[in-house]
Amino acid sequence: MRSKITQFALAAVLAAGFAAPAFAQHTYWKLNSDHSTGRLSLASTADPNASFDVGIARVKGSVSLDAGARANSSFDFIIYPADQDPALINNDGSLNAAEFSNASHSTVINFRSKEVKFTGEGDLAVTGDLTLTHLERPALITYSEAYAGPVYGEPKVHSATREVTFVFDHAAAIAAAAGSSRKLKLAASATIKTEDFPGLFEAVTNANWPVVVEDKNCRESATIGEEYHGVGCTGTPVVISSRRSPSQTGGEDYPGPDLATPHIRDNVKLALTLELTRDASAAAEASGN
C-alpha cells in the first residue's frame, strides 16, 4: 500500500493531468472496435495461475472523462462475438434475435458505469451494471435421407444484471495521455465470482467466440476462371494463450472448452484492451454546437 503522502502526490498529478487545456472540461472518446478486445477466461480462487482462456471478443462503445468532477465520467461499452454485426446489437446490449438466425448460441455483455473513483493504489475503479444476454436456439434434428444438418428453432434469450467493478491500471498515465493524445490505450479487468452471477459461467462457456482479427482487409480475387479463389483476407489474429485439446474444434457444433481441470470454475475474468479515439461529434453535440 502506498503511503498517504504518496497518494496525495498522485492526486496532484492526476488533477494536473485532468486539468490540462487540451483535455478541457469533458473529453469524449469512441472505442475503436477493430482494436478493442475483451479476453474471457476462467480463473480459480484456490490457484490464481490456473486460468483458462475461453475466447476473445470485440468491444464497442464510448467513454466520457470529466476534468472537473471525475464522478461525472462514464464508461459505456458492449462485449460481443467477432462474427456478429455490431449494428444488430442495440446500445443497451439487447439483441435483435431475428437477425441472429445463424447462431445456435451467442452471448453479449453490456456495461454501464455508475461510479468512477481512484483506488488507494492509484488505479481507476469503475463500478456499474453489467448485463449479460445469452441467446440459445434448440437444434431440431430430423433423421432422414435428406438430412442436411441441424435446423434451429425459435430463440430463447436469457438476461441478468449484476454490479461489477472494472479496475483500469495506471490512472496517472491515463490522465497525462488524455490531455494531449488523439488516441488513448486503456487496460482493465474484472474478476467475477460465478456464485455471485448465476448464468455467467454457462453463458461464457456455452458460446462460440470466433477468432478476432485486427486490421482485417478482404479483397476479391482478380483472377476469373479455374484459378479463381474467391475473397482473400489478411489481418492480425488476437491469439488465445490457453491450449485446447485436439478434439475441440470451432463451428456450430463446438461444445466449448474442456473444463475438467479442477479449480477453474469459480471465477470468470474479463480483461479489456481498449483503444479510444476522440469523438468530436459527441463533444459538439454536448456543447450545443
N-terminal to C-terminal alpha carbon distance within the chain: 45
Length of the chain: 289
Report the mean per-residue pLDDT for the chain.
75
CA-closest candidate to residue 187, choices 276, 110, 69: 276
Our measurement of the distance from residue 83's CA atom to the centroid of its chain's CA atoms, rounded to an integer in Å, reads 14
| 102 pLDDT more than 70 | no
CA-closest candidate to residue 259, choices 194, 196, 212, 197: 194
Looking at residue 106, its pLDDT comes to: 82
CATH fold, domain 4-97+105-132+159-287, is Lipocalin (2.40.128)
Looking at residue 67, its pLDDT comes to: 64
Enumerate the domain spans of the chain: 4-97+105-132+159-287
pLDDT band at 11 (very low <50, low <70, confident <90, very high): very low
- pLDDT tens, residue by residue, 129-142: 999 988 887 776 66
pTM: predicted TM-score of the whole model, two decimal places:
0.75
Return the percent helix, strand and coil in the chain, to nearest 5. 15, 40, 40
- pLDDT tens, residue by residue, 30-83: 999 889 999 999 988 888 777 889 999 999 999 988 766 777 889 999 999 988
- pLDDT tens, residue by residue, 219-240: 665 556 565 555 667 667 777 7
Alpha-helix residue ranges (DSSP H) falling in the chain: 4-18, 171-178, 200-205, 280-287
Q: What distance in Å separates the CA atoms of residue 251 and residue 141, rounded to the nearest whole number?
A: 17
